[in-house]
Homo-oligomer: A and B are copies of this chain.
Amino acid sequence: VPKKKPYHHGDLSSRLLEVTAEVIDDVGVAGLSLREVARRAGVSHGAPAHHFGDKRGLLTAFATQGFARFGDALEAARCSEDSGNALQRFEATGVAYVQFAVEHEAHFDVMFRPDLVDASDEAYAAASTRAYQQLLLAIQAAQAEGYAPGVDVETLAVAAWAKTHGLATLWLEGNLRNVTGYEDVSALARAVLALDKG
C-alpha cells in the first residue's frame, strides 16, 4: 500500500505532534507555545493553526494521541498471557499505567487536563473512554476469579485508578525522589499495588 503523497512538508501534522512532545519535555506544558512548536518543526508560525485551528486544538489532538497509546498499553497488560490469573493481570495493568506515565510524560501531562483540552472533542472522548474501559475490564476479570467479592466495581475502579494515578503524578512531580529501596518506578508500583492482594 503506497502512502498518500502528501503536500509540501510531507506529514506536517504528525510532525507537529512529535515536536509538541519534545517541547513539553524541554519546557513543560506551561511553557509550550505554538510558535515554538512551529519553530522546531522548521515551519512558519502560522502553520500549526492550519492543521489544528488553535492551541487548544493542538493539545486536544496531542492528548488524544496519548490516550490511544495509553489504551494500547493498558490493553496489552490486561491481555498479557505471561501471568496466569486475572488478579495478576489486574496488577500488571496498574503497573502499566504508571509505566506509561513515566515513559510518556509529555502526553500524560496533557491527557487529564480539561483546562487545556477540548473535552467535548469526539475523538478525545472516545480514546479516553477506551482507556478507562481497560481498567474496568481488568477489574471485572479479577473479580470473576474471586477478587474483592461483593464490592461495587465502580468503587474498586476508583480505588485502582486513584492509586496508580497518584503514584504516577507523585513520581512525575518528583515527590517520591526520597523513596529508597526500589530499583525503579515499576518495582515501586508493583510493591504498592501488591499490598491489597486478597
Contact = CB atoms under 8 A, between A and B. Distances in A.
Contacts of A30: 30, 115
A162 B161 contact: no
Nearest to A114: B174
B179 A158 contact: yes
A188 interface: yes
A43 to B, nearest CB: 26
A120 interface: no
A170 B165 contact: yes
Q: Which secondary structure dominates where chain A touches chain B?
A: helix
Contact of A170 (B151, B162, B181, B196): B162
Contacts of A165: 166, 169-170
A140 B164 CA distance: 23
Interface in A46-95: none
A30 B155 CA distance: 32
A191 to B, nearest CB: 5
A151 B159 CA distance: 20
A104 interface: no
B113 A192 contact: no
B115 A28 contact: yes
- Give 9 nearest A-B pairs by CB, closest first: A166-B166, A162-B166, A165-B166, A162-B167, A196-B196, A159-B192, A163-B163, A162-B163, A112-B173
